[in-house]
Structure 1
Amino acid sequence: MHILYTDCAHEIRRSTLLPIQETNLATIYDIAKAAGVTAATVSYVLSGKGSISQATREKVMRYASELGYRPNLIARSLIKQETHTIGLVIPHIINPFYAGIAETVERSAYARGFRTMITNTYEDERLGAELLEDLAARRVDGIIALPGGLSFSAIQSMIASGLPVICCLWEEEEGQEVSLAVGLDFKRGGQLVAEHLLGLGHRRISVIVDVKANGRIDHHLRFTGCQEALANAACPLDAALVSNGDSSLESGEAAAHQLLHLPNPPTAIFATNDLMAIGAMVAAWKLGMRVPADLSIIGFDNIALAPFTSPPLTTINVDRDRLVKLALDLLLSIIEGKQLEPPPLLAPELIARASTAICPASR
């Protein structure tokens, strides 16, 4: 059976007795009338189906172009039960890291015939759960979800409903591992930070870590990796040198200001994301300290701004292009009914720039 694609707006206007000429939306009936063929013929031509002569196809397409016809994608998606749209849930698009992820997902999805609906949770788990339901109600074909404002239970509930959800870059708490995920070896990233700073002779190393209002460490794997590497090098992390932030520039500045006013301040600061690291640079500058001559600073994420700070920021690189490709491959394979194993964790890479140097005491 062949179903004709009709224009919903046109049908609504006809049903309310509004004159057809009040709308500029051409329908397949308008094309059929202009081309002197049936609406079924137009439908076959536009859908690429049926045994229609080349001359008729060309004539229909010519009139469709002249009349400015646009297919009703909403009606088509209702018929086919697919929208060729994916949802992307992120915490804050104002954060350059997530803005970069969003841009890469949108560009990559578009190249593969999909549109992207991007939404922000603003670190609010109640809102995050509502946004997942909203995307499902809008009939997206699948969702890529990043941490921050999404609870484990909300994700599990959405997966149980049958909608494909790929968790990306989650640092799960123990017992909350998601089955479909694409991630980074965050713990190894934290180890690389410690090894880099120890190799430069630093022993008074501070950590500014993202901690939520409920006391949960959001970046716990990168923090744990750094902490364990320091302990293994007989240089355990001093609890007094750990300060809390919230992944923002302001929190990084405030935390660094506190750390640098200690009686025995650190010679190096590891901020668990780049924005907090840049905030720490600002705090050092306001205190008249030179980076890296007086203080080394290292971040995590390698956001687009990192090479352009003064001095350029040493950081842990997250390969966004590779990450997004893996996430899309996994999501689209599930949408198409295929079964793929989640890929192994991506390996982090330390990008050494000018914000870290040999510890002053080691010179």
Structure 2
Amino acid sequence: MGRSVTMRTVAEKAGVSMKTVSNVINGTGSFSEETGRRVRTAVEELGYRINPFARGLRSRRTGTIALLIPNVYQPFNAELAEQIIRAPETRGLKVVVETTRGDARREQALLTTSPGELVDGIIYVPHALSAEQYLALPVAQPMVVVSERPAEADGLNLDYVEIADEQGSHAAVTHLLAQGRRRVAAIFEPAGPRAGGRRLHGYRRALAEAGVDYDDSLVAHVDNADLWSSGVGAATRLLRTRARFDALFCYNDVVAIGALSVLQRSGVAVPDDVALAGFDDIEAARFTTPPLTTVDPRRRSIARTAVELLRARTDAADSRALPGRTRTAGFELLVRQSSGAGPEADAGE
């Protein structure tokens, strides 16, 4: 029973606020002897188990940070989490990883309640919530957002680590065009405030700079780019339209590897018939046949910068006094055999 009992349950049974329960448990604040007795009785009767992290509330520090990511089945998310946990800047801290599951209500709940009482700060990778939505939430802890800084965040004491979505996409498509390809197809998430829109913009900008007209029939969209099956489905749809293309740029490596399997099963040679490139540089990209050309968004730099920014804010006497900061991790274009460019070479900024 104790595992399902929360501080809110104790507060309701004792007829007090959650703040009072916290004060009694941690010996802080002021409360009457009778109130203390009621809370302790409720704790005993309900079998409430005090989380060891909560004891840090006595000093208002827990030595724990939270990482909120959409899921861990997408390799980029899992590898980012691993980098954050292992970053030198994280030394001495515990990292609680929570998955938002692409659900707006869960994302909102995790930002405003759990793990609110247990952590000193949050590293947040937005997915279901728009910037307007998450910026309106009453988030109590210092937070670093891994996303492009929106105009709505101007003037806020909120830190951002930006991924070079548009720049990386532009570089990858420019590279495909430099190989003499002129019918560059693409697979993206729906355009919007998240990375899908920015990577699509980079794709279109590269085409325009090369004097190649944008062709909507060469662009397929997927609802969930975190699934290998999404790349399979999108590539299958592109082939069924019989639209002619000699290159394919994918929103991420998961989609690209799914697409690669379809192309090969359909007798389309990569890179001879279709040059292929992805985004994220997940570990699996090096082991496909042929190895996948991709954009490395410098995951290690993202992780270290996010922890550094968060730690500076949590260590400050008043985190609200620090102005909002924005850092960009940059990118590297890793050229491998899937784009027909010969031996692996790196280029970036």
Pairwise TM-score range, normalised by the shorter structure: 0.7 to 0.9
1:107 and 2:86 matched: yes
- Measured in 2, the distance between the counterparts of 1:148 and 1:315 equals 22
- Measured in 1, the distance between the counterparts of 2:236 and 2:151 equals 33
CA contact (8 A) 2:148 2:160 kept: no
Q: What is the CA-CA distance between 1:261 and the residue it aligns to? A: 2.8
Change (3 A) 1:199 1:157: same
- Measured in 2, the distance between the counterparts of 1:303 and 1:240 equals 28
- Measured in 2, the distance between the counterparts of 1:161 and 1:285 equals 48
- Measured in 2, the distance between the counterparts of 1:210 and 1:243 equals 9
Tell me the equivalent position of 1:342: 325
Q: What count of residue pairs does the alignment treat as equivalent?
A: 293
Pairs within 5 Å for 1:125-274: 125-158=104-137, 161-168=139-146, 170-171=147-148, 175=152, 179-211=158-190, 218-245=195-222, 246-247=224-225, 248-274=227-253
Is the deviation greater in 98-107 or in 342-351? 342-351
Tell me the equivalent position of 1:37: none
Could you give the per-residue CA deviations for residues 119-155 of structure 1, whole angstroms, max 9, x where no partner exists? 1111111111011123353331000001212332453
Change (3 A) 1:174 1:280: farther
Change (3 A) 1:112 1:257: same
CA contact (8 A) 1:129 1:151 kept: no
Could you give the per-residue CA deviations for residues 239-278 of structure 1, whole angstroms, max 9, x where no partner exists? 1101001212111111111112333421111001110001
Q: What is the CA-CA distance between 1:340 and the residue it aligns to? A: 7.0
- Measured in 2, the distance between the counterparts of 1:234 and 1:354 equals 25
- Measured in 2, the distance between the counterparts of 1:73 and 1:301 equals 37
- Measured in 2, the distance between the counterparts of 1:146 and 1:278 equals 23
Q: What is the CA-CA distance between 1:343 and the residue it aligns to? A: 4.6
Is the deviation greater in 104-113 or in 241-250? 104-113
Tell me the equivalent position of 2:345: none
SS in structure 2 opposite 1:135? coil
CA contact (8 A) 1:280 1:297 kept: no
Change (3 A) 1:310 1:243: same
Q: What is the CA-CA distance between 1:172 and the residue it aligns to? A: 5.8
- Measured in 2, the distance between the counterparts of 1:331 and 1:217 equals 22
Extract unaligned runs of 5+ from structure 1. 7-11, 18-71, 359-363
Match of 2:336 among 348, 353, 356: 353
Q: Percent identity?
A: 31
Could you give the per-residue CA deviations for residues 256-310 of structure 1, whole angstroms, max 9, x where no partner exists? 1111233342111100111000111011022121111111111000011110111
Q: What is the CA-CA distance between 1:157 and the residue it aligns to? A: 3.7
SS in structure 1 opposite 2:182? coil
Change (3 A) 1:109 1:129: farther
- Under a length normalisation based on structure 1, what TM-score does the superposition of the two structures give? 0.73
- Measured in 1, the distance between the counterparts of 2:152 and 2:83 equals 30
Q: What is the CA-CA distance between 1:73 and the residue it aligns to? A: 4.2
Tell me the equivalent position of 1:324: 303
Change (3 A) 1:114 1:127: same
Change (3 A) 1:75 1:292: closer
Q: What is the CA-CA distance between 1:173 and the residue it aligns to? A: 6.1
Q: What is the CA-CA distance between 1:164 and the residue it aligns to? A: 0.7
Tell me the equivalent position of 2:101: 122
Could you give the per-residue CA deviations for residues 90-116 of structure 1, whole angstroms, max 9, x where no partner exists? 011000000001111122278521111
Extract unaligned runs of 5+ from structure 2. 1-25, 28-39, 46-50, 342-349
Q: Which has the higher contact order (CA 8 A, sep 6+)?
A: 2
Could you give the per-residue CA deviations for residues 37-59 of structure 1, whole angstroms, max 9, x where no partner exists? xxxxxxxxxxxxxxxxxxxxxxx
CA RMSD of aligned residues (A): 3.0
Indicate the structure (1 or 2) with the bigger Cα radius of gyration: 1
Match of 2:71 among 82, 92, 95: 92
- Under a length normalisation based on structure 2, what TM-score does the superposition of the two structures give? 0.76
SS in structure 2 opposite 1:305? helix
